[in-house]
Amino acid sequence: MSAQNPIDLSFCWSFPDDTPEAGLARLREYGFEGIELWPNFLEQWGVERWAKALNESGMRCFQLCPYFNFVHGEEKIVASRQMLRDYLAAAQALNCRRLRVFTGPPWGEGVVGAREATDSQWCAAIDSLREFCDIAAQEGVELCLECHEGSLMEDAPSTLRLLEAVNRSNLTVNLQLPLRDEEWQVSLSALAYATTHIHIHNWTQGLGEGDLTYLATGVFDWEPVVRHLKELGRPLCLSIEHPDHGEGAWKTAEVDGAFLQGFRERF
């Protein structure tokens, strides 16, 4: 593994009953180098405590995960601008260089997928992303589109539409397979060039099929995906998401951490 183009190992923080200090130490013991943080966990302990705990543990914050909304009118865009300012400040305090991007709520009321979006919603999302990328670039932060059903990046064509229209080098992709109605090879071929982050999962019956399970016991083989990405010669973060299956999140951290340590050695 090249030191210039590493594979970083991350865990999406899922431990409401654990302090940052205790939880980070345990995750590091299991082989992870950092975490992702959602708003509820960031707010639970506050930016200052997270910054101190990360620094003292030698762990990193690989991604912060705000919920921007570009597709439900100017009021939501204005609120998203304030959210961007807040999260860029948090990113600086946490030495984090990546913010996750949704174009609107990907579940619940108000979902706007790529196939349902109007021309005006597409334009609003593209204009907002351009603006947000330019602001984030001043802080050395990338904005990472999470490929997710119910967003404007739910398959390769829709994600490419955003990437190409926004045309900013700090707009990247979280290639969260599988994409909507699409073979993974198609998604990978189209989006590998912009991919910096993966929410890595596995399932009992195939890619996105059956129940979530540990990476080592699931059916999908991630090696061709990661090998292709690494051949492009850029850093990549593999991040465990949705760990609350089997014996719970801490068991997932233990089992998947050990697997990922060995998995990374193949590259």
End-to-end distance of the chain based on CA atoms, in angstroms?
6
**pLDDT range class, residue 1, cuts 50, 70, 90:** very low
The pLDDT of residue 4: 60
Backbone phi and psi for residue 234, each to the nearest 5 degrees, phi listed first: -130, 160
Question: In terms of C-beta density within 10 A (0-12 exposed, 13-18 middle, 19 or more buried), how is residue 112 classed?
Answer: buried
Q: Indicate the fold that domain 66-197 takes in CATH.
A: TIM Barrel (3.20.20)
Instruction: Pull the structure tokens for residue 63.
Output: 């991604």
Nearest CA among 81, 74, 22 for reference residue 49: 22
pLDDT in tens, 121-169: 999 999 999 999 999 999 999 999 999 999 999 999 999 999 999 999 9
Instruction: Pull the structure tokens for residue 203.
Output: 């399932």
Mean pLDDT of 241-250: 96
pLDDT in tens, 36-92: 999 999 999 999 999 999 999 999 999 999 999 999 999 999 999 999 999 999 999
In single-letter form, the type of residue at position 116 comes to: E
pTM for the complete prediction? 0.96
Instruction: Pull the structure tokens for residue 189.
Output: 């071929």
Nearest CA among 214, 210, 185, 190 for reference residue 202: 214
Annotated domain spans of the chain: 66-197
